[in-house]
Amino acid sequence: MGDWKDNAISGQGIYLWSDGRVYSGEWSSNMMHGKGTYKWQDGRMYHGEYANDKKNGFGVYVWVDGRAYLGNWSAGKQDNERVYILPNGSVRRGLYEGNIRKEWLKISEAEQADFKAKLADA
């Protein structure tokens, strides 16, 4: 369901895969491009920005167990500073190079509240 241009999904649209995955959001030339929400059948969810079918820019990824990642993505991978919200509500922020955490960063109560609000909006 959605907009078509030159025989390709462009603009706003929803795509349903046969295995239960769903993407609802912006498209360009048959690729997820812009803001959107991607849901897996097992309950995982990503809400954020895409570029050329890959997570790119700010986004929120939520696992089935309630853990959440808030931060930037680059070409489909988590990038630089990362914020994790654990199922118990605690918030951790770390600085990473690739997939290696270099250090945990301090985070104020106001920042924690802001990240939790962003998660609630996802």
User: What is the model's pLDDT at position 2?
Assistant: 65
User: What is the model's pLDDT at position 81?
Assistant: 85
For residue 18, give the CATH number of its domain: 2.20.110.10
pTM score of the predicted model: 0.85
Cβ proximity of 99 and 85 under 8 Å? no
Compute the distance between CA of residue 59 and CA of residue 78 in angstroms, rounded to an integer.
Answer: 9
Compute the distance between CA of residue 69 and CA of residue 93 in angstroms, rounded to an integer.
Answer: 10
User: What is the model's pLDDT at position 5?
Assistant: 73
User: What is the model's pLDDT at position 7?
Assistant: 75
Cβ proximity of 87 and 67 under 8 Å? yes
Compute the distance between CA of residue 122 and CA of residue 112 in angstroms, rounded to an integer.
Answer: 16
Q: Which residue range is the domain that position 109 belongs to?
A: 2-121
Q: What sign does the CA torsion over 17, 21, 25, 26 have?
A: negative
Task: Count up the domains in the chain and report the number.
Answer: 1
User: What is the model's pLDDT at position 49?
Assistant: 97
Q: What amino acid occupies position 53?
A: D
Per-residue pLDDT of the chain (122 residues; tens, 9 = 90+): 667 777 778 899 999 999 999 999 999 999 999 999 999 999 999 999 999 999 999 999 999 999 999 988 888 888 788 899 999 989 999 988 777 788 999 999 999 899 889 888 88
One-character DSSP codes across 43-108: S-EEEEEEETTEEEEEEEEE-TTS-EEEEEEETTEEEEEEEEE-TTS-EEEEEEETTEEEEEE---
User: What is the model's pLDDT at position 80?
Assistant: 83
